[in-house]
Structure 1
Amino acid sequence: MPVGDSQTIGSAGEHTWRYRLWQHLRDTYGGPFTLVGPRQELYDKATDTATSYEYADPDFPRSHLAGWGEGWLHMAPLIGEATRSCRADVLLVALGLIDLGFYTNAEQTAENVRRFISNAREANPRIRMAVLPVIPNIRAVDEPDFGEQVTLFNELLAKSVADLDEPRSPLLLASPPVSYDINLDTYDGTHPNASGEEKVAGAFAEAMWQGWGIGQAYAA
């Protein structure tokens, strides 16, 4: 189940990194799988609502738990029921930018990470989670104070993943794409374009391959 904010839900006309990852796993996983979640929509910028189904390629399992303007704060209360009702066994989580930008500081956001993990495990004690740190974005470049909060949160996120990892419900910290460039891999400094989608999908694919032996090494 992909879980995330605007970078994960995507907007009308996009493929999304969810599509790129599905393509990769379809070709490399070697067994049955699907993407699950209580939502399928894209964000429609024209109406400022998550009501669009205009995927660049709609022929893939489009389910997710992602929302434009939603973060750990918003997803922590939802993840238990979503995990339970959708029978998720792996969560691919990319959150944090919205929290830090509008709602909570780094320490408070890290507390919501722990709430999220606890609620997911209550719904499925054997749930696996791969978590992506906040990736480069224009605000972190333009606003040094915000950039410092992003850096601190990513450090706290790594600590939370290490502290809460356990054999029956493993946690992985995905490595941000080394070559990710906000000038080349986004269309506005924050939201991934086609190459950015590939790199985010690759980050999750590499984490699952190296950490759990799921799929193979990622090739765009």
Structure 2
Amino acid sequence: MLRLMPVGDSTTIGSAGEHTWRYRLWQHLCTAYGGPFTLVGPRETLHDPSADAPTSYAYADPDFPRAHLAGWGEGWHHMTPLIGEAVRSCRPDVLLVSLGLIDLGFYTNAEQTAGNVRAFVAEARAAGPRVRMAVMPVVRNIRVEADESFAEQVTRFNELLAKTVADLDEPGSPLLLVPPPESYDFHTDTYDGTHPNETGEHKIAGAFAEAMWRAWDLGGPYGVA
């Protein structure tokens, strides 16, 4: 059975009442992937805005494997110390990683964040030497319009991420840079300038799905279900 672990920040964990892109990807793979698969991870909940805590199970459709390693306000900075144990305990074949916005916004600059990517990959491989990783660059949010230095850091980090993925890619544990969805627009594909709405969920799921299909022949072309 193919085991996929979504690893991410608030755009991956999602909020109470949402489907999440994790659900959209699962829905797609149910149709496009020819073998058994599941989503794995040490966490299952959504973020609950009223409690400001990851305590909600109120998915718009809870009938899917809800496991993940994602957290509201968490980035490479937070996930690097956790990924080794998560890989050991949950035994994923593929990590679907979408991180960096939080790091650049609050914790580390582009170069430091790229250093954390290298540490993350090393920790994941130490726990699972053959694990595959599909990594999405930072998807720009509304802050880039008001904060020029932040926008520059996002651009710089995405450049460094592409180089890091290329440098660390190896046949036994491939790294895949996921092209961010070309049509993604934070004005229309989010509900607040950062967090994806229904169209945004589909576009993020579609980006992961298309990348894995083209690079690894896993699944098939993404179609909105």
- Report the Cα offset of residue 142 of structure 1: 1.6
CA–CA distance in 1 between the matches of 2:117 and 2:56? 29
Q: Is the 8 A contact 1:180 1:196 kept in 2?
A: yes
Q: Is the 8 A contact 2:8 2:99 kept in 1?
A: yes
- The residue that corresponds to 1:75 in the other structure is 79
CA–CA distance in 2 between the matches of 1:203 and 1:43? 23
- Report the Cα offset of residue 219 of structure 1: 1.0
Tell me, which stretches of 5 or more residues in structure 1 are unaligned?
A: none
- Report the Cα offset of residue 217 of structure 1: 0.8
| SS of equivalent to 1:172 | strand
One-letter code aligned to 2:157: F
Q: Residue 35 in 1 paired to residue 44 in 2? A: no
List structure 1 segments (4+ residues) > 6 angstroms apart after TM superposition: none
CA–CA distance in 1 between the matches of 2:10 and 2:141? 13
CA–CA distance in 2 between the matches of 1:218 and 1:28? 8
Query: TM-score with structure 1 length normalisation?
Result: 0.99
- The residue that corresponds to 2:123 in the other structure is 119
Describe the superposition over 1:91-150 as per-residue Cα deviations: whole angstroms up to 9, x where unpaired.
000000000000000000000000000000000110000000001200112211100000
Query: TM-score with structure 2 length normalisation?
Result: 0.97
Superposed, 1:27-176 pairs within 5 Å as 27-176=31-180
- The residue that corresponds to 2:200 in the other structure is 196
Q: Is the 8 A contact 1:136 1:180 kept in 2?
A: no
Q: Residue 185 in 1 paired to residue 193 in 2? A: no
Describe the superposition over 1:174-216 as per-residue Cα deviations: whole angstroms up to 9, x where unpaired.
0010000111100000000000000000010011000100000
Which of 7, 14, 17 is the equivalent residue of 1:13? 17
| SS of equivalent to 1:78 | helix
CA–CA distance in 2 between the matches of 1:28 and 1:105? 38
Q: Is the 8 A contact 1:92 1:130 kept in 2?
A: yes
CA–CA distance in 2 between the matches of 1:49 and 1:136? 24
- The residue that corresponds to 2:210 in the other structure is 206
| SS of equivalent to 1:18 | helix
| SS of equivalent to 1:76 | helix
| SS of equivalent to 2:37 | coil
Q: Is the 8 A contact 1:99 1:105 kept in 2?
A: yes
Q: Is the 8 A contact 2:140 2:154 kept in 1?
A: no
One-letter code aligned to 1:216: G
- Report the Cα offset of residue 166 of structure 1: 0.1
Tell me, which stretches of 5 or more residues in structure 2 are unaligned?
A: none
CA–CA distance in 2 between the matches of 1:102 and 1:204? 26
% identical aligned pairs: 74
One-letter code aligned to 1:186: T
One-letter code aligned to 2:11: Q
One-letter code aligned to 2:7: V
CA–CA distance in 1 between the matches of 2:179 and 2:169? 16
Q: Is the 8 A contact 1:8 1:16 kept in 2?
A: yes
CA–CA distance in 1 between the matches of 2:144 and 2:121? 26
CA–CA distance in 1 between the matches of 2:191 and 2:98? 18
Report the count of equivalent residues.
220
